[in-house]
Amino acid sequence: MNSSVMGYSCLSSSSAYSIPSKFPTLRIFHGPNLSSSSLSFMSFPQSPRPPISTHHLPPNPPPLPPFNGRFKIHNRTTRILRQRLPNRKFSIRASIKEGLESSSNTTLIIVSSVITVILAVANRVLYKLALVPMKDYPFFLAQLTTFGYVAIYFSILYVRYRAGIVTDEMMAIPKSPFIMIGILEALGVAAGMSSGAMLPGPAIPILSQTFLVWQLAFSVLLLGRKYSWNRIAGCLLVAAGVVVAVASGSDTGQMLSGIGFVWPVLMIVSSAFQAGASILKESVFIDAANRLKGKLLDIFVVNSFGSGFQALFVFLFLPFLSSLKGIPFSLLPTYIKSGAGCFFNIGVHTLGTRVSFATFGGKRKHVVVTFLFPKAWVLGEEMGNTFSTVSCEGAPLLPLLYMVTNIAFNISALHLLKISSAVVSSLNSMSSVPISIYILSLPLPYLPEGVSLSPFFLIGSMILVVGLILYNIPQPLKQDSEIE
């Protein structure tokens, strides 16, 4: 680009008076024939410039030697060259700031993963211990956690909202995803209970490992994520390691013999429902980041509304779920009352059986229902039923410890999902399975008899660790930039 700027100068052998300016230097020479109290100067460039600059000399300039020269105007051309840089392909991977943020985020994910694994192990171990006094009431304990957590989570959400941590914008996010999350989780519970009632014990945790495979598939289909070969292989190895560790010592060839094909399929479908719910929770965080202009959604908003809609649909399925556990819906209030008595360890309890009738597939069949009743309630029962006194020793301490740990684990797992992904959160939860099995094999309070583990448990644990290492191998960046 060329531009011409007019420059003015007075040439003389005598001294000059200079005026500093951003324009070319103007030198004024005074002589006997030049009498002026002030002199104005304006520069008119050929191309557009900022507003005209005017300079004034002092009213009484100092005397200067006589002017004895000639006045010339020079046209000075200034050439400004704008050189075009050669075309080069640059692929900028990360700035220094982004690198620091990435390193900080990686550290946070590692710390959160360790905490999640520890809480997952404690959650599994304490659940087993909580079932010692509540061994006749697993269904009551499950429903207590489902409906009790709604009150707890919404109470925490209210406190955080009053403190300004949760904003109105966070509370205004669409609730339709939470409705779908509640439906999927309730369907997962119903399908899991239906199949779990018909499957042998060791088969349930093995078939449940399809949860991770479903998560990978839904993550690709619904979120558009892409996984490298090492991450896919790592996830499959983790699932395989858990299967080997859990199935150690069992006859896997005969495990499902005589079991209808529909029940294992239903357990796999149950895992699909739960995996879909976890991916929807991840999508809620992603969508909220856009709606909140980069601000992260508080996890208690997701926990509260997710558990609320789950409790709603579980409540609607309650007649079906109770019948799956062998509890006629007409006797469900009595069962809940007895379960609450055992949970709080109130009074003397008696284990008894009652023969009732229920209809399955259009046929009326006898159903034997086992209850733990307060002794006062048993006195009014008709003769012919048999009862024996039992103890709820360990309650309410063990069930309460389990519930507190379970809440902490759910919060930690959701936080890990928020800062990483649903797949990473599931990997940490799955890695806790062999650790929990090992701890439960040791003598514990209320479980004094330990068990021995077969070599397959060690092999499965090693496969799981290899899978975790393979999943976390960093991928080298492709060098697709070229600097000349």
pLDDT tens, position by position, 147-162? 999 999 999 999 999 9
Look at residue 123 in the predicted model and tell me its pLDDT.
Answer: 93
Q: Which two tokens stand for residue 216?
A: 């990978």
Q: Which two tokens stand for residue 182?
A: 């509640």
Backbone torsion region of residue 293, taken as left when φ is above 0, otherwise alpha when ψ lies between -120 and 50, otherwise beta: left
Between residues 207 and 305, the one the model is more confident about = 305
Average pLDDT over every residue of 377-394:
51
The whole-angstrom separation of Cα 216 and Cα 425 is 12
Look at residue 113 in the predicted model and tell me its pLDDT.
Answer: 93
Look at residue 377 in the predicted model and tell me its pLDDT.
Answer: 37
Look at residue 100 in the predicted model and tell me its pLDDT.
Answer: 52
Look at residue 368 in the predicted model and tell me its pLDDT.
Answer: 44
Look at residue 248 in the predicted model and tell me its pLDDT.
Answer: 63
Look at residue 185 in the predicted model and tell me its pLDDT.
Answer: 92
Helices 299-316, 176-196: inter-axial angle, 10-degree rounding = 50
Q: What is the 3-state secondary structure (H, E, C) of the chain?
A: CEEEEEEEEEECCCCCEEECCCCCCEEECCCCCCCCCCCCCCCCCCCCCCCCCCCCCCCCCCCCCCCCCEEEEEEEEEECCCCCCCCCCCCCCCCHHHHHHHHHHHHHHHHHHHHHHHHHHHHHHHHHHHCCCCCCCHHHHHHHHHHHHHHHHHHHHHHHHHCCCCCHHHHCCCCHHHHHHHHHHHHHHHHHHHHHCCCCCCHHHHHHCHHHHHHHHHHHHHHCCCCCHHHHHHHHHHHHHHHHHHCCCCCCCCCCCCCCCHHHHHHHHHHHHHHHHHHHHHHHHHHHHHHCCCCCCCHHHHHHHHHHHHHHHHHHCHHHHHHHCCCCHHHHHHHHHHHHHHHCCCCCEEEEEEEEEEEECCEEEEEEEEEEEEHHHHCCCCCCCCEEEECCCCCCHHHHHHHHHHHHHHHHHHHHHHHCCHHHHHHHHHHHHHHHHHHHCCCECCECCCCCCCHHHHHHHHHHHHHHHHHCCCCCCCCCCCCC
The whole-angstrom separation of Cα 105 and Cα 421 is 13
Sign of the dihedral through C-alpha 94, 99, 101, 106 = positive
Give Cα 357 distance to the centre of its chain: 46
388 has pLDDT over 70: no
pLDDT tens-digit series, residues 242-274? 888 877 655 545 556 677 788 888 988 999 999
Q: Which two tokens stand for residue 210?
A: 């399809």
pLDDT tens-digit series, residues 89-126? 434 443 444 555 567 788 899 999 999 999 999 999 99
Q: Which two tokens stand for residue 2?
A: 């060329």
Look at residue 457 in the predicted model and tell me its pLDDT.
Answer: 83
Q: Which two tokens stand for residue 172?
A: 């205004």
* End-to-end C-alpha distance for the chain, whole angstroms: 26
The whole-angstrom separation of Cα 484 and Cα 466 is 42
- List the Cα angle 150/155/160 in 5-degree steps: 125
pLDDT tens-digit series, residues 327-359? 888 899 999 999 999 999 886 454 444 444 444
Residue whose entry in the numeric block shows the structure tokens 């694994």:
117
State percent of the chain over pLDDT 70.
Answer: 65
Cα separation values, 238 from 204, 253, 261, 309, 350, Å: 17, 21, 26, 31, 44
Look at residue 273 in the predicted model and tell me its pLDDT.
Answer: 95
The whole-angstrom separation of Cα 43 and Cα 26 is 10
Between residues 216 and 68, the one the model is more confident about = 216
The whole-angstrom separation of Cα 435 and Cα 431 is 7
pLDDT tens-digit series, residues 219-228? 999 888 888 8
Average predicted confidence (pLDDT) for the chain: 74
Look at residue 483 in the predicted model and tell me its pLDDT.
Answer: 34
Look at residue 101 in the predicted model and tell me its pLDDT.
Answer: 58
168 has pLDDT over 90: yes
Q: Which two tokens stand for residue 45?
A: 């460039």
Cα separation values, 366 from 136, 297, 357, 360, 387, Å: 20, 51, 5, 10, 19
pLDDT band at 484 (very low <50, low <70, confident <90, very high): very low
Look at residue 202 in the predicted model and tell me its pLDDT.
Answer: 66
Cα separation values, 126 from 129, 415, 447, Å: 5, 22, 11
Cα separation values, 287 from 113, 297, 341, Å: 23, 9, 44
The whole-angstrom separation of Cα 143 and Cα 134 is 13
Look at residue 456 in the predicted model and tell me its pLDDT.
Answer: 83
The whole-angstrom separation of Cα 391 and Cα 371 is 13
Pair 177, 284: CB distance under 8 Å: yes
Look at residue 212 in the predicted model and tell me its pLDDT.
Answer: 86
Q: Which residues pair with 350 in a beta bridge?
A: 373, 389
Look at residue 193 in the predicted model and tell me its pLDDT.
Answer: 82
Q: Which residues pair with 2 in a beta bridge?
A: 79
Average pLDDT over every residue of 80-96:
43
pLDDT band at 406 (very low <50, low <70, confident <90, very high): very high
Look at residue 263 in the predicted model and tell me its pLDDT.
Answer: 86
pLDDT tens-digit series, residues 430-450? 888 889 888 988 898 888 877
236 has pLDDT over 60: yes
Between residues 391 and 325, the one the model is more confident about = 325
Look at residue 297 in the predicted model and tell me its pLDDT.
Answer: 94
